[in-house]
Each structure stands twice: as structure tokens, then as C-alpha cells.
Amino acid sequence: MGKNKGILFAADVLEEDKLIEIISDVSPFISMIKIGNLLFYEHSFKIIKKIKDIISIPIIADLKLLDMPNMASRITELAVNNGVDGIIVAGAIGQEGIIACQEILRDKYLFVFTQFTHCGGLINDREADEYVKLALHLECSGVQVPATKKGRVKQIKEIVGDKLIIISCGIGTQKFYTEENYGPEIGSALIDGADYEIIGRSIYNPKLPISSPKEAALLAFEKIKNIL
């Protein structure tokens, strides 16, 4: 499993035709794709194979899995049987839960979600650090770290070095609740030590003068090319 860098596209587009169209358009510019629970609840895990048919980059199921080890194992097995290349689990799932998933995933990706991009989530830095240490101890693939929490990517990079992949969320346009906000600039988390920047809304719902997801992805790709 090679360690690359670049854009992890958060494809939170509910409507299937639009989803497939956007993924096709942006695929030359992204390194991985992340599918979240909203899409799985609408389409089931079968959507993974439909995306796999049109791209060859890794598809990560962002489950934020938080279940008992036996159930975590059953869910991971279902995901793998549907063609997933990796999953994201919640840090609070704990050691036994992660091991249960790893036994099914083998060399596929397992990322540990540490904390939210917004300040309202109830996971503080101390708890997030505990999840990072657990991910190191269990030799997970990587950790998800918010770019919106100042200094966190740098801090975590110092802890994990090159042992874990850092995927960083909260880049570009965010929709916290009803209003849109702007997170750190594209490229800034990579400069701080992240390996992948999770970019969603800025690509699938670009703002004028950017006219399409394809153009947005190309611009993001150009922006980070020199950093990588």
C-alpha cells in the first residue's frame, strides 16, 4: 500500500447520477475518495461498486464506526465484500473494536477519526491525542485531524512522524449548520504535515467564478502541486 499525498474528495452528493458524473469529472485530480453515511443510508454499500466501476483510486467508507467489536467486524466484512478500500472508525471504538476491523481489512486502510472541525463536538484535544496514540500502537493506516483547529495538524505530525497517514478535514468551504463558512485555505494542512486534504463542498458545489466541479478540482490540484 503506497503512501501518496493529495486530495481526498468527500463525495457527499446524494443523487446517484450527479454523484457519478462529478466523480468522473474530478477523478484525474484526486488521490482518494471518501463516501459517508448519508450516501450509504440512501444507496446502501452497493454504491461502492458503482463508483469503483468508474475510478481506480481508493474508496474510503467514512463510517465513523462506533460499535461493539463483533458488530464492527460484521460491518467491516460487509464493506469489504462490497469492494471498499478502507474505512474510517471513531476513536472511541477502542482497541478491541479497531483490532476486530483490522482482522477483516488486512492491508486495506483503517483511519481513526479523532475530533470534529467545529468546536461543538464533545471530543477534546486530550481525548483526540489518546485516539492518535491508539492508532500508532495498533499500526493503523492513519488519523483524521481537523485543519480548523489551529496547530493540531502540526502537533499530530510531530507525534506520528511518517508512521501514520494524516488526512485533514475542514479545508475550503464548510457548511457548519445552515450558514457556509470558509476553513483554512487549500494546501495549508499539507504544509503543516498532512498527507491528504479532505475537500468536499469546495469541489462539488463551487462558487463563481469557478464554474464546475471539474474546474474546482483542477484548481485545487494546481494549488497543491507545488507543495507536494
Q: How far are the Cα atoms of 41, 65, 122, 184, 223 from residue 17, in angstroms, in the given order?
A: 16, 27, 36, 30, 28
Site string for a copy of itself, 126-165 (x = CB under 8 A): -x--xx--x-------------------------------
* Active site annotation includes 64: yes
75 binding a copy of itself? (CB under 8 A): yes
Residue 27's alpha-carbon distances to 20, 32, 59, 111, 179, in angstroms, are 10, 9, 12, 22, 28
Q: How far apart are CA 174 and CA 180, in angstroms?
A: 6
Between 46 and 150, whose beta carbon lies closer to a copy of itself?
46
Task: Give the C-alpha distances (Å, rounded to integers) separating 183 from 2, 26, 82, 117, 173.
Answer: 29, 21, 33, 9, 6
* Residues 178-217 as x/- pattern, contact with a copy of itself by CB under 8 A: x---------------------------------------
- Is residue 174 within 8 Å of residue 181, measured between CB atoms? yes
Smallest gap, in angstroms, from Cβ of residue 96 to a copy of itself?
4
Q: How far is the CB of 147 from a copy of itself (least distance, A)?
A: 14
* Residue 168 binds a copy of itself, judged by CB under 8 A: no
Helix runs in the chain, H state only: 16-26, 37-43, 46-52, 69-81, 94-105, 125-137, 152-160, 188-192, 201-204, 213-225
User: Does residue 127 come out as left (phi exceeding 0), alpha (psi in the -120 to 50 range) or beta?
Assistant: alpha
Binding segment for a copy of itself (CB under 8 A), chosen from 32-40, 52-60, 182-190, 218-226, is: 32-40
Pick the catalytic residue: 64, 133, 154, 223? 64
Nearer to a copy of itself, 95 or 211 (CB): 95
Asked if 36 touches a copy of itself (CB under 8 A), the answer is yes
Q: Which of 5, 50, 52, 74 binds a copy of itself (CB under 8 A)?
A: 74
Instruction: Decide if residue 9 touches a copy of itself (CB under 8 A).
Output: no
Joined together, the cell numbers standing for residue 45 give: 454499500
176 lies in the binding site for a copy of itself (CB under 8 A): yes
- Residue ranges that bind a copy of itself, judged by CB under 8 A: 12, 14, 36-38, 40-45, 63-71, 73-75, 78-79, 90-97, 100, 113, 116-118, 120-123, 127, 130-131, 134, 174-178
